[in-house]
Amino acid sequence: MSDIINVLLVDDHAIVRAGLKAVIGVAHDVRVIGEAANGVDAISMAERLKPDVVIMDLTMPGGDGVTATKGLVALANPPKVLVLTMHTEEEYLLPALK
């Protein structure tokens, strides 16, 4: 077992991914192993790269974060998923997860 936490960043905004990557970059035990701009690519990359953690945006064109998270947790060795969003539960999360 590695002491390094491998992270996949998923957000449709490149500037957000760059900012997250910069923040994560200061940690010695965490590394970004991939970046995806939509949920479809996130699942494909997670299958290939086997991240420990996926940092997931919820609202993205080309495959939203809720659908992608459902796909990720269905994988044989699912990663942990940390969701970052500006939406409240009442606005987005609760209706989308039903």
Distance CA 52, CA 46 (A): 9
Task: Kindly state the average pLDDT of the residues 7-30.
Answer: 96
Burial class (CB in 10 A: 0-12, 13-18, 19+), 68: buried
pLDDT, tens digit, 9 for 90 and up, residues 23-63:
999 999 999 999 999 999 999 999 999 999 999 998 888 88
Distance CA 93, CA 21 (A): 25
Give the predicted TM-score (pTM) of the model.
Answer: 0.86
**Which sign, positive or negative, has the C-alpha torsion 28, 30, 36, 38?**
negative
